[in-house]
A = this chain, B = another copy of it.
């Protein structure tokens, strides 16, 4: 049975009402947020574009080249190569594809990657598909990879070549930043590829005021470090672009050859992205939001989020809730004896936090849509759940 246009839109509206809305402040466990308002107008303008066939959409392709350059600029790379893709998962898989293909070209039979315990589960998808071998160093007291362990591991395994190291700049669970500066030095000395997953931190760390920086972390993570060959950085997280807008940047175009697949039917004869057909909405929106906000705009957004993060911690402490670590970025982990249960109880009363796997804790991401009133209400709700 068909419906007319009004019936379709009315029906869809009802489904949409069952969704949570960012502005209600109940989404406390997501790394996505309400996109910047300008992106709705931009999306309408670029609604029909397809960067899977860039020769047809030359203007949109030009925007992608420019936006990669703009992101390269604030990542200290004047000559980057990359794409705006579906998200961090595709970006991380793309980096792993590159690493595997470099390793294979060298004649290695297995691809070995040193990667933190705290890595996002997209790396597990990559491992399973590509049969990668992961080495997971222990974590320090600050929940970062133990660099001394990596050093020793490399020395002890001279015959068992390490193909790559993955470092995280803004880890999903705790927001921690691996000591990528020290790792880069090791990687450079031993000719090892270094990929940085800054899916979340990429639009935070470059705009973070010094006053928020902790002593126990090194905040350097970008192409200014010699061994960094690729970075995952998602505009649709803290960049305020709409989904889909993930980002993968390489140091330069020399990495493209490891990704190219022959694409006989398209306007380009090779395709390097994992996904084929892809909308230009993410590209144009990222371009637009970046031009509109500029460095100052992102700095303000990051400072506001950090301010609210400290507010959340202060409130939590008032109720006797203990954060696992001081906040590195706008992510808070609160110790909890049974985080899964607490999480479910909170959901029952309409609050959506998530949990940390690496420590028993509730995980809250203080995205731009979270206001101080929401934090007050949430802490009250958490107190009531803990008492029950």
Contacts and interface: CB of A to CB of B under 8 A. Distances in A.
Contacts of A19: 49, 56-60
A108 to B, nearest CB: 13
Interface in A48-68: 48-50, 52-53, 55-60, 62-63
Given A14-B59, A30-B53, A38-B8, A2 B291 contact: yes
Nearest to A23: B48
Nearest to A246: B277
Nearest to A293: B2
B59 A4 contact: no
Contacts of A121: 261-264, 271, 276
In which size bucket is the chain A interface?
A: 35 or more
A35 B48 contact: yes
Select the residue from A1, A16, A19, A97 with max chain B CB neighbours within 10 A: A19
Contacts of A52: 87
A287 interface: yes
A8 B278 contact: no
Interface of A: 1-5, 7-9, 11-22, 27, 29-30, 32, 34-35, 38, 40-50, 52-53, 55-60, 62-63, 86-90, 93, 97, 100-101, 121-122, 124-125, 128-131, 172-173, 234, 236, 242-244, 246, 261-267, 271, 274-279, 284, 287-288, 291-294, 296-297, 347, 352, 354-357, 363
